[in-house]
Each structure stands twice: as C-alpha cells, then as structure tokens.
Amino acid sequence: MPGHKALVVGATGMIGGLAAHMLVRAGVSVALAGRDAQLLAERSKLLGDRPYRTFDAYDLDGCAALAPWAATALGGLDTTVVAIGVAGFGLAEEVTDTAAEHLMTVNALAPMAVVRGALPVLEPAGAVVVVTGRIVDRPMRGTADYTAAKTALAAWLDVVRRERRGRGVSVVHVRMPHLDGGFADRAVTGGPPPMPPGLDPARAVEEYVIGPIAEGRRRGP
Ligand SMILES: NC(=O)c1ccc[n+]([C@@H]2O[C@H](COP(=O)([O-])OP(=O)(O)OC[C@H]3O[C@@H](n4cnc5c(N)ncnc54)[C@H](OP(=O)(O)O)[C@@H]3O)[C@@H](O)[C@H]2O)c1
C-alpha cells in the first residue's frame, strides 16, 4: 500500500499497535494517536519517527481533531483506524454511574467523535475502520454497560455507513473476536469471568483490520 496515508487511534494499545506496525511494514505513511504519552513516543520512534498526538477519550473535541491533525501532518488521509476501548464487568446493579459513564465515553462517544472528525477530511475512496467486538452480537451476563456502549457504537456506525453510501468514505466495522493479550484483565471495573483462550492477536489484526484496508485499496473508489 505505498502512498497510502493512515491514522491509527489507540496506537498505544495491542490492536492499534499491531495495526500501526503492519501498516508501516506495508509501506503506508502512518500517524499515531494514543493516551499514554511516553508509550506513544516510544512506538513512534520504533516505527521510524512517525507523527504522533496524545488525546483523552473524555476530551471529545480533542478526539474529533485527530483526523484533521493527521491529514495535515501526512499531507492527506486515506484511512482512520479506531481501536480504543476499555472493558468493564459486573452485574448491572453493581456498576457505579462513574464506571458506566467511563465505559460509554471510551467505548462509544470517543470513537464516534473521532469518526465525526474524520469523515470530512478523508479522501473519497478512503475508509474508517472501527473496532468493536463480537459481544455486540452475543452479549454476556455481567457486561451490560460494556455491551451497551459497544452496541451503541455499532448501531451508530451502521447508520453512518448508510449515510455515506454513494458519497465516498467506506465504514468498516470490525467485530473483533476475543484475543489473547489481557484486554479483559485491564477492566475499569470488576473482573472477567473465566474465558477460553483467545485468538492470536497478530493473525486477527492482519485478517480483520489490515485485510479490509488492503481490499478497499485494491477495489479503488
Ligand atoms: N483484545 C481483545 O480481546 C478484544 C476483543 C474484542 C474487541 N476488542 C476491542 O478492541 C479495542 C482495542 O483493544 P486492545 O486489545 O488493543 O486493548 P488495549 O491494549 O487495552 O488498548 C486499549 C486502547 O484504548 C486506549 N484508551 C483506553 N482508555 C482511554 C482513554 N480514556 N482515552 C484515550 N484512549 C484510551 C488505550 O490508550 P492508552 O494505552 O494510551 O491508555 C489503548 O490505546 C477495544 O475497543 C476493545 O473493546 C478487543
């Protein structure tokens, strides 16, 4: 994909980090966004001094500003990958309002704001690639707030995809399966139930995130 320009939001995470690495390896010009300033700087350096910018999900204006910033930094933008999120567990009546707000902000409102900012600046043949999870189709007990947030994002993306039909910029919604890598153990509230082993993260990112970008590139506008 040489010549392609991409922003990875959540480049400090496992999925976003892998996606950024694979895109750079494929010859893509990549800009990185993440919350952890030190890790982001390290990843940028490791990938050949890529442009990077920090943000926090609670700053929705800052989220919406990421793609315009990347378009300026890279001289255009073809793809925005959104791979931010945080898990949360517990029976509905046990989850605090603060934790519920956190889950909704990081998993739904912030990704929506990133996409909202990206749509006007992406090339017409470009794409937003947004990671949710299989949970949107198969909710589990003890994940009401996490599932609600991911499902809100999924429904929002579905409408945006319809709105963009015939107007350029495709919307790729990745319902990522459970991966090895400890995402559930980094939950903002509660702890995960016993889970079967997950898929290999690198193979899954290659298939579910990089695959659709490369396919869109082959297909053209
Ligand atoms: N891993 C899985 O098994 C799995 C399965 C299905 C779906 N998913 C989804 O895939 C996405 C990424 O998962 P992952 O495995 O890569 O998780 P991860 O390694 O924990 O990465 C999470 C990312 O979200 C960012 N983030 C968290 N809270 C934030 C906040 N308040 N403001 C800004 N950024 C914030 C983190 O930034 P910092 O590190 O900079 O704080 C990091 O870049 C999530 O949406 C998750 O729901 C994951």
Q: What is the mean pLDDT of each run of 10 residues along the chain (221 residues)?
A: 94 98 97 98 98 98 98 98 98 97 98 98 96 96 97 98 93 96 94 92 98 79 55
Question: Residues 212, 213, 215, 217: what is their CA dihedral angle, to the nearest 10 degrees?
Answer: 160
Ligand 1 mean position to 34 CA, how many Å? 10
Please report, as a single letter, which amino acid is at residue 214: A
33 SS3 class: strand
For the domain that residue 98 is a member of, what is the CATH number? Answer: 3.40.50.720
Q: What is the pLDDT of residue 217?
A: 65
Phi (first) and psi of residue 218, to 5 degrees:
-65, -40
Distance 52 CA to ligand 1 centre (A): 17
CA–centroid distance, 71 to ligand 1, in Å, is 23
Domain count, the chain: 1
Q: Whose alpha carbon is nearest atom 7 of ligand 1?
A: 133
Label residues 65-92 b or e (16+ Cβ within 10 Å = b).
bbbebbbebbeebbbbbbbbbbbbbbee
- 82, 84, 145: which to mutate for ligand 1, most atoms within 8 A of CB? 84
pTM of the predicted structure, to 2 decimals = 0.97
Task: Ligand 1 pocket test: pick from 7, 8, 12, 66 the residue with the most ligand atoms within 8 Å of its Cβ.
Answer: 12
Rounded to 5 degrees, what angle do the CA atoms 212, 221, 32 make?
A: 50
Closest Cα to atom 22 of ligand 1: 13
Cβ 36 vs Cβ 111: under 8 Å:
no
Ligand 1 site, residue 181, Cβ cutoff 6 A:
yes
Structural domain span for residue 141: 5-219
For residue 218, the model assigns a pLDDT of: 65
Q: What are phi and psi of 149, to 5 degrees?
A: -70, -45
